[in-house]
Amino acid sequence: MILTTSIFSQFFPDTIILIPMNIFSIFLALSWLLFIYPTNWAPSRFQSIWNGFISNILEMLFQNTSNNTAPWAGLIVSIFIIILSINILGLFPYAFTSTSHISLTYSLGFPLWMAINILGFYLAFNNRLSHLVPQGTPNFLIPLMIWIETLSLFAQPIALGLRLAANLTAGHLLIFLLSTAIWLLSSNPLVSFPIFIIFILLFILEIGVACIQAYVFTALVHFYLQQNI
């Protein structure tokens, strides 16, 4: 008997005792509220670490900012924490990193890019149009520069979503290939042990990539916001 699976089977949630893992994920996410928000007058050790983490994130993301982008700080930090959490949790065994799929990255990147540009054109329409022609452009190059700047504008959401998905997919693919090689060559320790060392180093590197890609995504959103507001 030949078992066939649908190409959409990767989107079906895993189950434990016929209960979707998404249910457990929701309760796990809500349980963080018990640790984040203090219940006593003195914060716990975890709450102190969380407050320090948030303050460092705010300093890192908004080191070059303006007063106009201040109302968007909560949204940008929330996006950073969400992407960072998904990237880190995706490194656990039997976990799927949803940010490595373009359906999620474009669902985050495209609406943010569109909202920022619509707001920019609404607040300063003439100023946004002036960005299509850089200062000092010769007259005969103005039509060409308008096309180039327009294409670069519409390429922003494509690069925003594709960069996150491509980097995470490449790292996870290398981890999968190395882990498969270690398993197949486990009978030969002289070969499998060096590969295992490389695997550990690559896994540490992938943790760094997960953090960096979350920062790059939110930093680009913040940069686009500064250009439009």
The pLDDT, as a whole number, for residue 15 is: 60
Judge contact between 109 and 217, C-beta under 8 A: yes
pLDDT of residue 148: 82
Give the angle subtended at the CA of 22 by the CAs of 19 and 27, to the nearest 5°. Answer: 95
Task: Please give the chain's pLDDT, 229 residues, in tens.
Answer: 344 445 455 455 556 566 666 666 667 666 666 666 666 666 667 677 777 777 777 777 777 666 777 777 778 888 888 888 888 888 877 677 888 888 888 888 888 888 888 888 887 777 777 777 777 777 777 778 778 878 888 888 888 888 888 888 888 888 888 888 888 888 888 888 888 898 899 989 998 888 889 888 988 888 888 877 7
Calculate the alpha carbon distances from 108 to 12, 41, 87, 112, 117 in Å.
21, 37, 14, 6, 15
Domain ranges within the chain, ordered by starting residue: 48-228
pLDDT value for 3: 43
Instruction: Give pLDDT, residue 188.
Output: 84
Helix (H, G, I), strand (E, B) or coil at 19: strand
pTM: 0.73
